[in-house]
């Protein structure tokens, strides 16, 4: 790997936000719709590896990866080279008009790397929400059944159908309805909040009873699930939950769609979170880390299902843009060459150790959970399981003030999540976790 041009160290040279960021934020207030918000108004000038440099020259540790996108690091040299070369050759033809090789190669990679060794086909889109929309389109078309079953705490995007599939009202759905019909919601396995000792099989039986009662098997086209929920709070279901849901789907002719938009591409220590329990979905949606920071999303599915959709039924002007496709090939190559799944496992072990130690000394940390480099802590009022979203806000803000980007999430807003680039250097991770520990100690 080339030596980084931006030193992989945290360095704060102004108050945060600094004067240039403040000036930009004033312009933003006058120009940008306030509905699009930012967690911390530091305007970024450059980035590399796990460091963001803002317009005032502050170097910040990125423990969020732009919400699980730059797993290969900011400005990964392979991605930069591929993008620069492609943009000079051609930026767009529209694959539906004049095709090109990189689109085909990305589909081959997706077909080979997603769970299951059956024959598959892929189609490319721009955003995660668009991929989810298309997966549901395909499932409905193939099964002839309208019902889409989603889970409590789910997040699938901000378009009309994906808002309907998303569980949380504020800020995602509030007054944006009416929503797409024939969407049903059932319980998720949530080990921290489920009855003590509830197994994955028991939690699945609870969800299956709800599916059969609310929807009816003959009306259910697909079950859509994040194998580990992202925005909903990094909820890792109890072992056995996902396999039991998959088994029920197979037995009833209901398609299982795994939404691996946040969990996919090495994030959890496997290529896909489904791999952990050997679950093979019928359709899988991917985006985020797929293209190393460029916008690209995909639906990959069993060939016999994907082949059912009529010619011209899927697509879009920009879907599978050639610059994004070469970025994806470079990102996937980097994941293989640098064993980023292995790196995610190591990062996860380091984070788990630090967070578990913190939990031992702070009763406001109710739970530490996650898999690989997708780790979180759930904050509660000490001695209870009552969510404490203010504590999450305070800790995130304290981290930001010290130059470490962390994110909150969760249906109750009380989960602090960590999603570092998988190439983060150990001493930088250590520094970031030290700042987090200081913030927890000061704020809890």
Ligand X SMILES: Cc1ncc(COP(=O)(O)O)c(C=O)c1O
Which residues in this chain contact ligand X in the complex, by CB under 6 A?
67, 127-129, 132, 155-157, 226, 230-231, 259, 261-262, 287
Minimum separation from the CB atom of position 187 to ligand X (A): 18
The 10 Å Cβ neighbour count of residue 240 is 16
C-beta closer to ligand X: residue 100 or 172: 172
Distance in Å, CB of 123 to ligand X, minimum: 16
Nearer to ligand X, 65 or 127 (CB): 127
Beta-carbon contacts of residue 169 (< 8 Å; ≥ 6 apart) = none
Structure tokens at 9: 């160290």
Shortest distance in whole angstroms from residue 163 CB to ligand X: 11
Query: Residue 163 or residue 343: which is nearer to ligand X going by CB?
Result: 163
* Nearest-approach distance from CB 83 to ligand X, in angstroms: 19
Q: Is the peptide bond before 171 cis (omega within 30 degrees of 0)?
A: yes
Task: Name the minimum Å distance from CB 36 to ligand X.
Answer: 12
What minimum distance in Å lies between the beta carbon of 125 and ligand X?
9
Taking the least distance from each CB to ligand X, the nearer of 56 and 190 is: 190
Nearer to ligand X, 132 or 439 (CB): 132
Q: Which is nearer to ligand X, 155 or 241 (CB)?
A: 155
Pairing between β-strand 415-418 and β-strand 120-125 as defined by DSSP bridges: unpaired
How many angstroms separate the CA atoms of 434 and 361, rounded?
15
166 — alpha (psi -120 to 50), left (phi > 0) or beta? Answer: beta
Q: How far is the CB of 210 from ligand X (least distance, A)?
A: 21
Q: Which is nearer to ligand X, 301 or 403 (CB)?
A: 301
Q: Which residue is nearest to ligand X (CB)?
A: 128
């Amino acid at each position: 790997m080339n030596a980084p041009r931006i030193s992989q160290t945290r360095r704060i040279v102004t108050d945060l936000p600094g004067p240039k960021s403040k000036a930009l934020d004033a312009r933003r207030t006058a120009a940008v719709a306030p509905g699009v918000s930012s967690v911390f108004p530091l305007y970024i000038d450059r980035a590399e590896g796990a460091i963001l440099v803002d317009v005032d020259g502050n170097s910040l540790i990125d423990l969020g990866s732009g919400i699980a996108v730059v797993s290969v690091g900011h400005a990964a040299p392979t991605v930069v080279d591929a993008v620069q070369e492609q943009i000079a050759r051609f930026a767009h033809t529209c694959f539906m008009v004049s095709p090109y090789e990189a689109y085909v190669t990305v589909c081959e990679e997706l077909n080979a790397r997603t769970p299951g060794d059956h024959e598959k086909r892929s189609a490319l889109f721009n955003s995660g929400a668009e991929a989810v929309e298309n997966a549901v389109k395909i499932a409905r078309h193939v099964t002839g059944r309208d019902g889409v079953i989603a889970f409590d705490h789910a997040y699938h995007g901000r378009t009309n159908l994906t808002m309907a599939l998303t569980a949380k009202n504020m800020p995602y759905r509030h007054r944006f309805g009416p929503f797409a019909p024939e969407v049903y919601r059932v319980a998720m396995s949530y080990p921290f909040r489920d009855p003590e000792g509830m197994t994955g099989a028991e939690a699945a039986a609870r969800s299956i009873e709800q599916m059969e009662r609310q929807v009816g098997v003959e009306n259910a086209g697909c079950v859509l699930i994040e194998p580990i929920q992202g925005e909903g709070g990094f909820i890792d279901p109890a072992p056995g939950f996902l396999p039991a849901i998959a088994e029920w789907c197979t037995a009833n002719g209901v398609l299982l769609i795994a939404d691996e938009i946040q969990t996919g591409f090495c994030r959890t220590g496997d290529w896909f979170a489904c791999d952990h329990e050997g679950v093979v979905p019928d359709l899988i949606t991917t985006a985020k880390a797929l293209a190393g920071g460029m916008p690209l999303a995909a639906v990959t599915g069993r060939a016999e299902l994907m082949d059912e959709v009529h010619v011209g039924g899927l697509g879009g002007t920009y879907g599978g843009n050639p610059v994004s496709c070469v970025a994806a090939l470079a990102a996937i190559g980097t994941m293989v060459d640098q064993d980023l799944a292995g790196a995610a496992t190591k990062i996860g072990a380091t984070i788990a150790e630090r967070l578990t130690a913190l939990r031992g000394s702070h009763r406001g940390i109710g739970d530490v959970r996650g898999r690989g480099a997708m780790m979180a802590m759930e904050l509660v009022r000490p001695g209870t399981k009552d969510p404490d979203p203010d504590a999450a806000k305070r800790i995130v803000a304290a981290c930001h003030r010290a130059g470490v980007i962390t994110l909150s999430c969760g249906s109750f807003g009380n989960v602090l999540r960590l999603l570092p680039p998988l190439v983060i250097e150990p001493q930088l991770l250590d520094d970031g976790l030290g700042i987090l520990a200081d913030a927890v100690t000061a704020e809890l």
